[in-house]
Chains A and B, each alone.
Chain A
Amino acid sequence: MIWVTLALLLGLLALSFPVAAVLGIVGLALDQLYAFLPLYLSLGEMTWGASTDVILVAIPMFVLLGEILLRAGIAERMYAAMSHWLSWLPGGLMHSNIGACTLFSAVSGSSVATAATIGTVALPEIEREGYEPRFFLGTVAAGGTLGILIPPSINMIVYGVLTDTSIPQLYLAGMLPGLVLALLFMATVLIGCWLRPAWGGKTRRSTWRARFRALPDLVPPLLIFLLVIGSIYAGLATPTEAASLGVIAALVLAAWRRKLTVAMMKRALEGTMRTSAMIMAILIAATFLNFVLTGIGLTSQVNALVTDLGLTPMQTLLLVVLFYLVLGMFMETLTMMVATVPIITPVIVGLGFDPVWFGVLIMLLVETAMITPPVGINLFVVQGVRGTGQIHDVMIGAAPFVVTLMVMIALLILLPGIALVLPEALAR
């Protein structure tokens, strides 16, 4: 049964059929093959239930928040301010890339949106300032992945819903690893520029006057972050309510910047629905597939199979990490999550690992998948924004940061506290 499921799923996905259709059809096929009672009869109830889930409402809202901010022109000013503060370091603007990505991640729940937004502002600087293009491109591709680790995070909502884990706890757990990873990315830039000084471009001198004058440009994203994430932790709001407040604040900000027009809103709504309907179609099909997988007893079979392997919990965990690293090279990341997380998480939690901590680990693995060739969405995004040259440049430039992510994954496994200290402190 396990092998039939795996073969069907991977086979149909490899034929490039739409992922939502594949998940649904595999669910129907397994239902026909193995279920005692026809499970598809509850498809209507299940779809209605899943699509009215209040937690999921946060997804289109966070997408909308990103779409509005993208068009409100905060990214440009934020980037300029960051460059005043960070570009004196060896590696110059590459540190601003990571700093700006980190800050944008705090208002955006998507890594693609983060890389695209910061990339649009940052990439023109390569030629103007004479940077080594590859390494520079790598900083944007890798920095962008922070989008799903630093709250808010759409992928964490998906993980939370698939595994029934608290989303506020996940958000808290992602914060410290997000900052540590950002610092590690910057350390990677420093090491790279130390080994190859020519990669560094010009370092810029700024004055303290200019730095403080630029500070107000960092305020709008920080305010929105405090409003959205602060209201969750102050116990004032659920993630959906916090997302609503974020959308309202973004609308106010866009209006204040005189960017709020009918044409702009139409584009923002189209972008929101393009992403949200795609995610929801996949989640609807995945809900049905998971219902079937549980119904036919596949989840417990996988559990039994893993127990039969006779590995220690740590060996099993490392096997899972390896599995995701390989799968992530070839598979689109949302698909990877919805197809594997509901099956693998119960196994890992059964071995005594914390589900919130594992959620953060999954985010890091998804981030790695986003910048490992041949299929890495952030590599494509950065190349797409750049518009000239070869995709290979981005792949090579991102490679050092894949190593950094491995270091971060090892750190998280050795010191689970990096993720768990904040949620535990708040639980008390």
Chain B
Amino acid sequence: MNLDRLLELAYRLARFGAWFGGGLIVAAALLVGVEVVIRKAFNLTIGGADELSGFALAIATTWGLAFTLLERAHVRIDSLYIHLPVRVAALLDLIGLALFIGFFGLVTWHGYGVFATSLRVGAHSLSPLGTPLVIPQALWVVGLVLFLAIATLLLIRAALALVRGDLGTMRRLVGSRTLTEEMAAELDRPEDAASAAEVRARR
């Protein structure tokens, strides 16, 4: 299987990760919202919704990292970058990605340590729920590992493009997002154009 096909699969996986992570946030919102209403309306404290929403955030974050990376949405300061020769800029793209992988590699390593400790001592959360911490932490670490795998694949593919002198592909994969691309991402919503037209017609 060639590398581009693999990267295409990685993108689908990352997008699924984003849906999963976003879905957890929606679920957390529903859970916390319902809990507030029940607490105030019936004076009943179920408890635990805030703890579960914290887990949702941690898991959603790691599962969303890869998608954000492939969409090139991790913030970079490109004031200087845009004035550099393309080859130098391309090299910085690669080093930046390598540093990103390096730091989150370390986070993953020590994050796995947290999971392993919880597993060893059978840690439970201190709340009334007493959640076995290995469950959310396992999902959290899986997200981190998934991110590292996809990021490494991206690094290899981009490095290959640089070696081959294919700067176009390189830029598309890991370059800093240009203004137009930024907006295309911000505004990909044809349904809005439709309703805008509808309002204009009503005036």
> What residues of chain B lie closer than 8 Å to A330, measured between beta carbons?
77, 79
Which B residues from 48 to 82 make CB contacts under 8 A with A? Answer: 50-51, 53-58, 60-65, 67-68, 71, 73-81
Query: Are A51 and B58 touching (Cβ within 8 A)?
Result: yes
CA distance A24 to B103 in the complex (A): 6
Given contacts A44-B110, A52-B55, A243-B29, list 15 more A-B pairs with CB under 8 A.
A16-B176, A20-B100, A21-B102, A48-B140, A64-B29, A70-B192, A240-B32, A270-B19, A276-B21, A277-B18, A277-B67, A277-B68, A280-B61, A335-B77, A381-B183
Report whether B100 and A43 are in contact in the complex, using a CB–CB cutoff of 8 Å.
no
Residues of A within 8 A of B (CB): 13-22, 24-25, 28, 40-45, 47-48, 51-54, 56-57, 60-61, 64, 70-71, 73, 75-77, 79-80, 112, 116, 120-121, 124, 231, 236-238, 240-241, 243-245, 247-248, 259, 264, 266-270, 272-278, 280-282, 284-285, 330-332, 334-335, 374-375, 380-381, 383-385, 387, 391
Binary interface encoding of chain B residues 19-56 relative to chain A, with 1 for a CB under 8 A from any of its CBs, else 0: 10111011011111101100010000000001101111
A14 nearest in chain B by CB position? B80
Residue of B nearest to A44 (CB): B110
Q: Which residues of A contact B164 (CB under 8 A)?
A: none
Chain A residues whose CB sits within 8 angstroms of the CB of B26 once the complex forms: 64, 247, 269
Chain A residues with CB under 8 Å of B80's CB are 14-16
Cβ–Cβ contact B180 & A276, under 8 A: no
**B162-184 interface with A by 8 A CB criterion:** 176, 179-180, 182-183
List of 3 A-B pairs having minimum Cβ-Cβ separation, nearest first? A269-B22, A44-B110, A384-B183
* Pick from B29, B137, B187, B202: contact of A48, CB under 8 Å: B137
Cβ–Cβ contact A71 & B103, under 8 A: no
Task: Indicate whether A270 sits within 8 Å of B75 (C-beta atoms), given known contacts A28-B103, A60-B60.
Answer: no
Contact of A274 among B136, B180, B185 (CB under 8 A): B185
- Contacts from B to A (Cβ < 8 Å): 15, 17-19, 21-23, 25-26, 28-33, 35-36, 40, 50-51, 53-58, 60-65, 67-68, 71, 73-81, 89, 92, 95-97, 99-100, 102-104, 106-107, 109-114, 136-137, 140, 176, 179-180, 182-183, 185-189, 191-192, 195-196, 198-199, 202-203
Contact B25 A270 (CB under 8 A): no
Task: Assess A259 versus B74: contact at CB under 8 Å? Given A270-B19, A276-B60.
Answer: no
Report which of A18, A237, A259, A269 forms a contact with B18, defined as CB distance below 8 A: A269
B67 contacts A20, C-beta separation under 8 Å = no
Question: Quick check: A54 and B36 within 8 Å, CB to CB?
Answer: no
Nearest A residue to B30 via CB reads: A248
A269 proximity list for chain B (CB < 8 A): 18-19, 21-23, 25-26
Contact partner, B195, options A28, A53, A76, A380, Cβ 8 Å: A76
Residues of A within 8 A of B31 (CB): 244
Q: How far apart are the CA atoms of A73 and B193 in the complex, in Å? A: 9
Contact call B96/A384, Cβ cutoff below 8 A: no
Report the bound CA distance from A25 to B95 in whole Å.
12
Contacts of B140 in A (CB 8 A): 48, 51
Shortest beta-carbon distance from B142 to chain A in Å:
14
- CA A79 – CA B202 in complex, angstroms? 13
Contact present for A21 and B92 (CB under 8 Å): no
Contact B183 A240 (CB under 8 A): no
Cβ contact within 8 Å between B61 and A247: no
Is B182 a contact of A380 with CB atoms below 8 Å? yes
Known: A270-B18, A276-B25. A16 touches B103 (CB 8 A): no
A20 to B69 CA separation, bound complex (whole angstroms): 12
Do B53 and A51 touch across chains, with their CB atoms under 8 A apart? no
Cβ–Cβ contact B32 & A241, under 8 A? yes
6 contacts between A and B (CB under 8 A): A51-B140, A57-B54, A73-B195, A268-B22, A269-B23, A284-B61
- Of all chain A residues, which has the CB nearest B88? A15
Contact across chains for B186 and A277 when beta carbons are under 8 A apart: no
Q: Is the CB of A384 within 8 A of B180?
A: yes
> By the criterion CB–CB under 8 Å, are B67 and A17 in contact?
no
Residues of B within 8 A of A22 (CB): 99
- CB-based contact B36/A236 at 8 Å: yes
In the bound assembly, the distance between CA atoms of A270 and B63 in angstroms comes to 12
Q: Are A384 and B179 neighbours in the complex by a CB distance under 8 Å?
A: yes
Our pick among B32, B67, B103, B113 for the contact of A21 (Cβ within 8 Å) is B103
CB distance from A223 to the nearest CB of B (A): 15
A48-B137, A280-B61, A330-B79 given; A248·B179 CB < 8 A: no
Q: How far apart sit A43 and B112, CA to CA, in the bound complex (Å)?
A: 11
Contacting pair B111 A47 (CB below 8 A):
yes
> Given the complex, which residues of B lie within 8 Å of A25, measured CB to CB?
99, 102-103
Checking B19, B81, B191 against A16 with a beta-carbon cut-off of 8 angstroms, the contacting residue is B81
B192 pairs with A284, CB closer than 8 A: no
Least CB distance, A189 to chain B, in whole angstroms: 22
